[in-house]
Structure 1
Amino acid sequence: MRARRAWATAVAVVLVAGLLAACAATDKRRELAPDDGKPVVLTTFTVLADIARNVAGDHLAVESITKAGAEIHGYEPTPGDIARASDADLILDNGLGLELWFAQFVESLDVPHVVVSDGVEAMDITEDAYAGKPNPHAWMSPVNVQAYVENMVAAFSDLDPEHAAEFAANGAAYQGELYAIQDELVTELSALPENERALVTCEGAFSYLARDAGLTEKYIWPVNAEQQATPQQIVSAIEFVNAADVPAVFCESTVSAGPMRQVVDATGAAFGGILFVDSLSDASGPVPTYLDLIRYDADTIVAGLTGRAP
C-alpha cells in the first residue's frame, strides 16, 4: 500500500512539474512570437484551425491542439496542451463524439468553447458497436461546413465584437468557396460509371462525402478508435468488393493500410491510394488546407476507380 501511495505521489509530482514547464514554455513562446494582443482561438484539430483562420482573418490568433498528421479520435492531451488551453480565449471542437478526450480535457478550464457542428444534420453509423451513434466526420461535406462557418462567425463576433462585420464578410466569402468546391466534388464523382460508384475505405469517415456525390460507401471499421480490424470486418469488405466488382479501394492517412491490403490481395482490386480526413498535411504536403483536402480526395478517388493516374 505504501509503495502504491509513493508511486501515485511521484506521478502527481511529474504531472505538476510537466504542467509548470509547459506553462513556462508557453509564456516563452509568446515572448518570442507575440500575438499582438489578439484573442487566441484554440481548435481541437488542424482542419478546424484552417477553416477558422479563413473566418478570423487577421483579427484572431488561431491554433490547433493537434499537429498535422495526428490521429484525432484517440488523442491524449499533454500538460502542454492544457497550458495552451488555459491561456486561450475560446476553444472550438467538432462535437458529434469525435473528440472523446475533450470533455475531460476542458472540464477544469475556465475557457468558453463552441461546438462548430451544431446545426448539422448528422448521419448515424449503422454498423457494429457504434450503430445509432452520429458519424462525427461531418466536415467531409462542404455543405456541412457552411454551418461550421456560421457557428464560427457567431462565436468570433461574441469574442471580438469590434470586428464582427469583418468576420461575417470573411465567412460569406469562404462559404462561396465551399459552394464552388462542392460543385467540383459532385461533378467529378458523379461522372463515374455505375460499378465504379462505390467508395471502399478503412474507416467510415466518408459517409457525408459519399452521400453528397451519390456513392455507395463500404468501410472495414466505423470509427478510428478501434485498434485493429476484425477478421469478420475484413471478410465483409472482401465480399462487398467482389459482389460489386469494385475496381479500387482506399485507406486514410492516419491509420495503417494493412487491413485494406488484405482486401486487395483477396479480391484483385487495386489499392487506389491514401485519403485525408482527420488531419491536414504540413505546408509542403498535398493538403495544407481544407479545400485542398477535399480536392485531393476527390481526385484520388476518381483516379483510383477509373484507373487513371492522379
Structure 2
Amino acid sequence: MFRRTFLGTALASVTMSGLAAPALAQTRRPKVATTFTILADMARNVAGDRAEIVSITKPGAEIHNYEPTPSDLVGARDADLILRNGMNLELWFEQFLRNLGDLPSATLSEGIEPMPISGGSYRGKPNPHAWMALDSAMIYVDNIAAALTRLDPAGEAEYRANADAYRQQITQTVSPLRDQARALPEARRWLVTSEGAFSYLARDFHLQEMYLWPINADAQGTPQQVRRVVDAIREHRIPVVFSESTVSDRPARQIAAETGAQYGGVLFVDSLSEPDGPVPTYLDLLRVTSETILKGLSDA
C-alpha cells in the first residue's frame, strides 16, 4: 500500500530542509550523517561508493532519549546532509541540528502513514518504528535515493540502481519470514515485548501486539504495566515474551517467571550491533528479529 517508485513521486516527496542551494560541487565525495545506525546502513546500500555515510549514534545506543556528545557534534559538522527518521523518534535532534547551523536534512519516514501509539503519555502520537514493516522499508529506500540525488544529481542513475537492488534484497529477506508468521495458528500469533516498537511488524506479520510500555521515552516496567501484561498473558494463554536489545530484559523475564510463559530472547529494533555482533546490518536485524519471534512462537 505504501510502496512508490523512485522517480517522480519519491523525488518530489522528501522534504529537504535547508537544501535550496545548488547541489554539492563534486570535488569530493559528499558526507551524509544519519541519526542512528539502521538509517546509516540503509543509506550505505543506496549510496554505494559515491558518498561517505556516518551514524551520529553508535551501535547499541538508545535513540529515543539519546544525549549527543561534543564529539557527535564535531563528527557531523562537516556533513553535507543529515538523514533522520522523524515521527518524533529523535527527541534530541532539533537542538542538535540548531547547533550545527544551516545544514540540510531529510526525513525518511515522509510518505508513510503512521500507526498511532495507543497508550502512555505519547498516546495518539506516531509510532516511529516504521522501518520494521516491508512496505514502509520500500519508502525509506526511495526517500534515501531521492535525498542523495538532490544532493548529488550526477549520481542519480547509480542511486536508483542501488535502491532497486536493495529493495529486492529486503523483500527477499522479509517475505518468507512474514509468510511463516501468517501461517502460525491464530492462538499463537501474539507478540509480547517490553517496548511497543513492533506495531508495524506485528501488523505486517498478522500478530496481535502486547507490550509493557509504548515507547522507550516513557515510563518503563512499572507495577501497573507488569500487572496488565501478566493478566493478558494468562487470559490469552500467550506462550512467550521477548525483550529488546537496548533495554533491560528484567521486566520480560519477571513476567515469564510469573506466568509460566517462556522468555523468547532479545529482539533488535532501534540499533544495529557492532560488526562482530548478531545484527551488523539492517537485513540482519530484520532476519534475526523475525526468526527469533518465529522460533519463540513455534517452540513455546
TM-score (normalizing by structure 1): 0.86
Do residues 257 (structure 1) and 249 (structure 2) align?
A: yes
Matched-pair identity in %: 53
Q: Which amino acid aligns with 1:231?
A: P
Moved over 6 A (4+): none
Could you tell me which of 106, 110, 114 is aligned with 1:122?
114
Q: What is the CA–CA distance in structure 2 between the aligned matches of 1:228 and 1:203, rounded to whole Å? A: 8
Q: CA deviation at 1:191?
A: 2.2
Give 2:75's match in structure 1, choosing from 70, 84, 91.
Answer: 84
- AA matched with 1:269: A
CA contact (8 A) 2:31 2:79 kept: yes
| Equivalent residue pairs, number | 273
| 1:276 partnered with 2:268 | yes
Deviates more, 1:292-301 or 1:177-186: 177-186
More helix by share: 1
1:242 to 221, 230, 234: 234
> AA paired with 2:84?
D
TM-aligned CA deviation for residue 166 of structure 1: 0.5
- The equivalent of 1:110 in structure 2 is 102
Partner of 1:107, secondary structure, is: helix
Q: Is the 8 A contact 2:120 2:218 kept in 1?
A: no
1:137 is matched with which residue: 129, 133, 136?
129
1:211 aligned to which of 203, 208, 220: 203
Q: Where do residues 1-310 of structure 1 align in structure 2 (5 Å cutoff)?
A: 37-108=28-99, 109-307=101-299
Match for 2:40: what amino acid? A
Which secondary structure state, in structure 2, belongs to the residue aligned with residue 272 of structure 1?
A: strand
Contact 1:74 1:225 in 2 (8 A): yes
SS in 1 for 2:148: helix
Bigger relative contact order (CA 8 A; separation at least 6): 2
Question: Aligned-pair distance for 1:226?
Answer: 2.7
TM-score under structure 2 normalisation? 0.89
Give, in whole Å, the separation in 1 of the partners of 2:289 and 2:249: 16
Alignment partners' CA distance in 1, 2:71 and 2:124:
35
Amino acid at match of 2:163: G
Unpaired segments of 5 or more residues in structure 1? 1-35
Q: Is the 8 A contact 2:212 2:220 kept in 1?
A: no
Q: Which residue identity lines up with residue 66 of structure 1 in the other structure?
A: T
Q: CA deviation at 1:144?
A: 0.3
Partner of 2:7: none
Query: Residue 49 of structure 2 aligns to which amino acid in structure 1?
Result: D
Deviation of residue 132 (structure 1)? 0.5
Aligned-residue CA RMSD (Å): 1.2
Question: Post-superposition shift, 1:227?
Answer: 4.8
Can you list the C-alpha shifts for 1:55-95, whole angstroms capped at 9, x where unaligned?
00000000001111111111001111111222100000000
Partners of 1:164 and 1:216 lie apart in 2 by 41
Structure 1 partner of 2:15: none
Q: Tell me the alpha carbon deviations over residues 208-248 of structure 1, each in whole angstroms, 9 at most, x when there is no partner.
A: 00000100000000001135321111111101111111111
Which secondary structure does the structure 1 equivalent of 2:266 belong to? strand
